[in-house]
Structure 1
Amino acid sequence: MPPTTAELVHDRSLGDLLQHRDVVLEGRDAPQRTARVELADMLSADGARADDAMLVASELIANAIQHAGGVVLIRIEVYEFGSALGVVDRASDTGALPTSPSNSSTKLADVAMNGRGLFLVHTLASTWSVKQTKDGKIVVAVLTQAGSR
C-alpha cells in the first residue's frame, strides 16, 4: 500500500487524523463520481472546501486516467484543520508532473490542450506533492480549512 497522507504531512499542521478511507476506483465505470460521493459523505460539514476537494479529486483522477493508464484508488483523510486526498495510479514516472503547473493564457489560440487540471489543483490545494510508491505513484493534495494554522 502507498504511504498515508499523514506520513507525507510531516509537520502535523492539519492536526489529528479524524477519518481515513481508501476507496478502490480501479475497474469502476465512473471513478470520479464514486470519489465525489465518498468525499461528500466525509466532508459534508466542510462546505466550500468540500466543493474544492471534489474538484481537485476529479482533476487528479482524470489525470490518472488520461496520463497514467487508470486510477487505482483514492485515499481520503480528514483532519482537524483540513483534508488530504491521495490518488494512486500504476504509472511510476513522477517527473511527468510539473511542480508548478501553469496555463494562464486567456487567448483561445494560446491555451494548451493539457495542463489546466494541475493548474486547478495547484490553485485550490494548500499544497500538493507526488511520491513514487512500490507499484506506481500517489499524488496528494492537501486542503486546509480557512483560518487554520
Structure 2
Amino acid sequence: MPPTTAELVPTLSLGDLVNRCEVVLAGLDAPQRAARDALHDVLDGQVSKELIEDAALVASELIANALQHTPGALLISVDVYEFGAAMGVVDCGRDMTAIPDRPANSSTDAPTVAAAGRGLFIINELATKWSVAPMENGKIVIAVLTLPAGAR
C-alpha cells in the first residue's frame, strides 16, 4: 500500500485524514474512468463539485502520463483530508528524471503550443503541489488539491 500523502508531502498542512481509497488500475480497459468514478464516490459530500472535477481531470492526466511514458499505471490512491484531497498514481516506471520539475511548455498560443507536455501543465495549474517519489516497484506521482479558506 502506498504511503499517505501526509507522509510524502509533509510541507502541506491538510489536517486530519478523513477518508482513503485505492483503485487497482493494472489490467483495466478504462483506468481513467475507474479513477474518476472512485474520486467522485470518495469526494462527494466532502469537497466542492469544482474540486471534484479538478481532481478528476488531474487524475486522468496522471494516469495518461503513466500509460504513455511507463509500462503502465498500477494503482491510484486517494486521500481526503479536512482541508483538501490528494491522489497518487503508482506506475512501473523507475526513471525519476523522466518527469521534469515543471512543465516544459505553458504556451496556449496556437503556433507555439507543444504536442506533448500539456498534461503536466494541467496538473501544475490545478494542483496546489505535485511531486514524485520512488516506490519499491516504480514510482508514485502525487498531486494535492487544497480547499480555499472557509470552503468546507
Fold match (TM-score > 0.5):
yes
Partner SS state of residue 85, structure 1: strand
Contact 2:2 2:77 (8 Å CA) reproduced: no
Matched, 1:86 2:88: yes
Aligned equivalent of 2:135: 133
Letter in 1 for 2:125: T
The correspondence of residues 1-149 of structure 1 with structure 2, limited to 5 A, is 1-11=1-11, 13-45=13-45, 46=47, 47-147=49-149
Partner SS state of residue 120, structure 2: helix
Percent identity reads 56
Q: Deviations over 1:34-88 (max 9, x none)?
A: 0000000011122111110000000000000000121000000000000010000
Q: Distance in 1 between matches of 2:95 and 2:25?
A: 20
Gaps of 5+ in 2: none
Offset, 1:12: 5.6
Gaps of 5+ in 1: none
Measured on the aligned residues, the alpha-carbon RMSD in Å equals 1.4
